[in-house]
Chain A
Amino acid sequence: GAGVSQSPRYKVAKRGQDVALRCDPISGHVSLFWYQQALGQGPEFLTYFQNEAQLDKSGLPSDRFFAERPEGSVSTLKIQRTQQEDSAVYLCASSPRPLLGTDTQYFGPGTRLTVL
């Protein structure tokens, strides 16, 4: 079966542009997560969906960041008016159910965003 896929793999944006990053989770997975990974750092949590409901968006760094999952499958992370500090790898992960115990999250390959 296919894993988590993300597109595009690489995105270059000029400062001030809007970008949209797509995540296709494993089919049927209920939980979906977005993380931001700066160069040389560990991933940092951005937001969490259970089906179409965004249950936790406490990690979004500013109101320029917006995520949606309207039909409970594909998710899009949108960044408005990009700034240089937004340059990072954006990781998406999914899990078959609401997380319990040591349930694993299955990660995608990430989108590397570079803001010039």
Chain B
Amino acid sequence: AQTVTQSQPEMSVQEAETVTLSCTYDTSESDYYLFWYKQPPSRQMILVIRQEAYKQQNATENRFSVNFQKAAKSFSLKISDSQLGDAAMYFCAYRSETSGSRLTFGEGTQLTVNP
């Protein structure tokens, strides 16, 4: 079974600085998809960024980028120029075609942004 691990329960960053959230996963498959979701206190999960495992180029979305290391099974999220609105719980998630439509989530990292 696939597992997703986020080893940092909490992280903090100063406004305008850069922070990196870690995620590792365990799978025997070669074709899969990885996601970062943001969950603010309102609880509504919002997609931040996504990556196909077959793509070597790291995904970027404005201030958000990933460092995808397939051999190491690592998928970290970098947030540049952090803003107060970035404060939330961040979840790393995995999906593969053979695992059906389910997303497998990590335990989450609570990000605090200090003014």
Contacts and interface: CB of A to CB of B under 8 A. Distances in A.
A and B interact: yes
Interface in B57-115: 91, 93, 95, 100-108
A55 B42 CA distance: 30
Given A102-B33, A104-B47, A48 B108 contact: no
Given A91-B45, A102-B35, A109-B43, A48 B101 contact: yes
Interface in A62-116: 89, 91, 93, 95, 98-99, 101-102, 104-105, 107-110
B44 interface: yes
A33 B102 contact: yes
B100 A48 contact: yes
B43 A110 contact: yes
B15 interface: no
B44 A45 contact: no
A35 B108 CA distance: 15
Given A41-B107, A56-B102, A99 B95 contact: yes
Contacts of A33: 101-103
Nearest to B47: A104
A107 B38 CA distance: 11
Contact of B101 (A3, A31, A44): A31
Given A42-B91, A42-B106, A109-B44, A102 B101 contact: no
Contacts of A40: 107-108
A59 B102 contact: yes
A41 B101 contact: no
Interface of A: 3, 31, 33, 35, 40-45, 48, 55-56, 59, 89, 91, 93, 95, 98-99, 101-102, 104-105, 107-110
Closest 10 CB pairs of A and B: A42-B105, A107-B45, A45-B102, A102-B50, A99-B101, A104-B47, A110-B43, A102-B33, A109-B44, A48-B101
Given A101-B52, A105-B47, 9 more contacts: A33-B103, A40-B107, A42-B93, A43-B103, A55-B101, A56-B100, A56-B101, A102-B51, A102-B52
